[in-house]
Amino acid sequence: MLAKLIVYCAYYLKSADGYRRAKLFFYDLLENSHSRKKKYFDATMIGLLILSVIFLIYDIEHEDSKMGGYFELAILMVFIVEYLIRGWIYSDTYKVIIEEYEKALYLNLDFNLLGVFRKAFVRDIEYITSPFAIIDILAILPSYRPLAILRIFIIFRLFKLFRYSNSAKLFADALASKRFELMTLLIFTCFLVFIASVSIYMFEYQATDSGIHNLFDAFYWTIVTLATVGFGDITPQTTGGRWVTIFLILASLGVLSFFTSILIAAFSEKMLSVRESRTYAELDRYDNFIIICGFGRVGQEIARHLHNDRQKFLIIDRVPARIDLAKKRGYLAIESDASNNEVLINAGICRGASAILCITGDDVINVYVTLTSRHLNKNLRIISRANRHDNVNKLYQAGADNVIRPFEIAGLLAAEFVGQPVAFEAISGILHNQTETVMESVLVSEKSPLDNQKIGQLDLQQRKLTLLGVISDNPIHLKHKNKYQVNQQHFYFNPEVDFILRHGDMLVLLGRKYGIDHFRDQVEQRRLFSRQPK
């Protein structure tokens, strides 16, 4: 009976929208490093922590301060709630229950409630014993006043700071990457300390006025000397002791420089990936950006245009000199190999990217990147460059939406220029926005005043616009002549005056930029006004 109730509850939670949303909200707040909420939350918590430590220290100096007590209590509540919520979002108990229940149902076994609880409990223990959770608990403890000894855990409250910034992780990672070198150095240093401590002890123990009375003094002196601190509270008195000192100082110079060089190497290596992750972090803020693979001449040209349009984009190239050039121009750029899945995923191919351009000079790379991108994201727009004619079909097969052939386009334009220079200049001027006259499309939206209107009624001549044609996928227009198949749609060239527009159609207009914009605005305004009376 109880088991049934629990399973029912589990199913209820699974379908409950509010529950799921609440969980998602807290996940965004506490764990999702891509979320903006987490950043604000982390900043608030850091502020609270510092305040709480200040109050605790104040408490140590002044017993019985009332204000500090209340504040401490409030902070404590926040910490406890945070701890519990983290535990809550760490595991989905209802999922465990449902899974076990369905398994039991499938295998025709009895539903073992105890087993389920054990599993859920194991997950909870997993959370409780995770390092950050332990720090969290230790940060809560010092508030328990009756046990004064727990005050020592204030330090742990400070450790909690690391939870809200990833600088500590960075530092630890940098050191961990040099584990082998550091280990070697540590062993060497241990030997050095051991030898120096024992020798100074032997020489100095019996000397008069010597500060070394036991082995710990000798060890203390060795460390102070080794670190080149040299307080001078203990100084060697015997000649033997002084020789040991000379030897130790020379050796310690080597140890320190070795240690410093390891650290510098570790951090400079780490800085590269930090800078890369900063680039990624900046991308996180944008939707709808474009990934450009290859920053050669073509890539530079596109980047220049996109930059002018204020469109966000990311450049990936393997050549350091090109990445330097891109950065110099203020573009986001990563020196990496775009054929690597991980690089593309980090670049946000499944998150915010709307298109990827594979435009390196090497067709092999272009095909490979196209294939990888299509595999990672089915809906992405992929434009690829084919440097050889035979590779066009391969790129389409690999999943490219558009394939462009630089040399063929240039050849075509050269031929066009020889044949009809005037027409050529006209069309290339329009196409590339070099003239004031542009070609743009205007959409006939639903309930727009253009809907169901005849072309003849549009009064385009008065507006100084030329209608070239209509793009539409509406089968109702198919009876008209002069249609040209363009992808899944038709382009109706020079439509007759009794051509009736339907919503979803697109007018292709030629005219001044502001003329077209004005026309579009007017249509939109009239659409909005005509809706109001309803």
Partner 1 sequence: MKNIAVFGYNRLSFEAISRLDKELYQITVIDHDPAKAALARENGFETANIDFRSDDDLKLIGIGAHIDTLFCFFDTDSENVFLTLSARALDKALNIVAIVDSPESAEKLIAAGANKIIDPYEICGRKIHDMLKRPDINDIFDHTVFGRHDLHLAEVAIPENSYLENAHVSQLHLSSQYNLILIGIVNKQVSERLHFVAEEFDRRLSVGDILVILGPSREIRAFKKDVENEFCKI
Footprint of partner 1 on residues 374-433 (CB under 8 A)?
381, 383, 385, 388-389, 402, 404, 406-420, 422-427, 429, 431-432
| Least CB distance to partner 1 at residue 119 (A) | 51
Tokens of 84: 């519990």
Decide if residue 468 touches partner 1 (CB under 8 A). yes
Q: How far is Cα 102 from Cα 108, in angstroms, rounded to an integer? A: 10
Decide if residue 174 touches partner 1 (CB under 8 A). no
- Chain centroid, CA 435 distance in Å: 40
Q: How far is Cα 59 from Cα 55, in angstroms, rounded to an integer? A: 6
Decide if residue 439 touches partner 1 (CB under 8 A). yes
> Which residue's CB is nearer to partner 1, number 94 or number 289?
289
* Residues touching partner 1, count (CB under 8 A): 74
> Which residue's CB is nearer to partner 1, number 196 or number 290?
290
Decide if residue 20 touches partner 1 (CB under 8 A). no
- Chain centroid, CA 258 distance in Å: 35
Judged by CB under 8 A, which of 17, 61, 110, 309 binds partner 1? Answer: 309
Q: How far is Cα 108 from Cα 105, in angstroms, rounded to an integer? A: 5
Decide if residue 321 touches partner 1 (CB under 8 A). no
> Which residue's CB is nearer to partner 1, number 329 or number 512?
512
Site for partner 1 in 35-54 (CB under 8 A): none
| Least CB distance to partner 1 at residue 320 (A) | 20
Decide if residue 333 touches partner 1 (CB under 8 A). no
Decide if residue 357 touches partner 1 (CB under 8 A). yes
Decide if residue 484 touches partner 1 (CB under 8 A). yes
Say which residues have a Cβ less than 8 Å from residue 297's Cβ, sequence separation at least 6.
none
The three-class DSSP label of residue 241 is helix
> Which residue's CB is nearer to partner 1, number 479 or number 531?
479
Judged by CB under 8 A, which of 365, 444, 471, 501 binds partner 1? Answer: 471
Decide if residue 144 touches partner 1 (CB under 8 A). no
Neighbours of 83 (CB within 10 A): 17
Q: Which stretch binds partner 1 (CB under 8 A): 53-61, 119-127, 132-140, 291-299?
A: 291-299
> Which residue's CB is nearer to partner 1, number 140 or number 455?
455
Q: Which stretch binds partner 1 (CB under 8 A): 78-86, 99-107, 109-117, 302-310?
A: 302-310
Query: For the chain, what is the total number of helices (H) and then of strands (E)?
Result: 20, 11
Q: How far is CA 366 from CA 188, 371, 383, 385, 398, in A?
A: 51, 9, 10, 7, 10
> Which residue's CB is nearer to partner 1, number 231 or number 417?
417
Please name the amino acid found at residue 312.
K
- The vertex-88 CA angle with 87 and 90, nearest 5°, equals 65
Site for partner 1 in 250-279 (CB under 8 A): none
Tokens of 234: 């203990």
Taken in order 239, 240, 241, 243, the sign of the CA dihedral is positive
| Least CB distance to partner 1 at residue 335 (A) | 21
Judged by CB under 8 A, which of 140, 244, 359, 450 binds partner 1? Answer: 359
> Which residue's CB is nearer to partner 1, number 101 or number 492?
492
- Chain centroid, CA 26 distance in Å: 19
> Which residue's CB is nearer to partner 1, number 237 or number 441?
441
Q: How far is Cα 366 from Cα 223, in angstroms, rounded to an integer? A: 59
Expressed in angstroms, the distance from the first to the final Cα of the chain is 56
Q: Residues of 133-159 as b/e, b for ≥16 C-beta within 10 angstroms? A: bebbebbbbbbeeeeeebbebbebbeb
| Least CB distance to partner 1 at residue 345 (A) | 22
Alpha helices in 177-238 (DSSP H): 179-204, 215-226
Taken in order 78, 84, 87, 89, the sign of the CA dihedral is negative
Judged by CB under 8 A, which of 294, 348, 399, 515 binds partner 1? Answer: 515
> Which residue's CB is nearer to partner 1, number 212 or number 359?
359
> Which residue's CB is nearer to partner 1, number 205 or number 424?
424
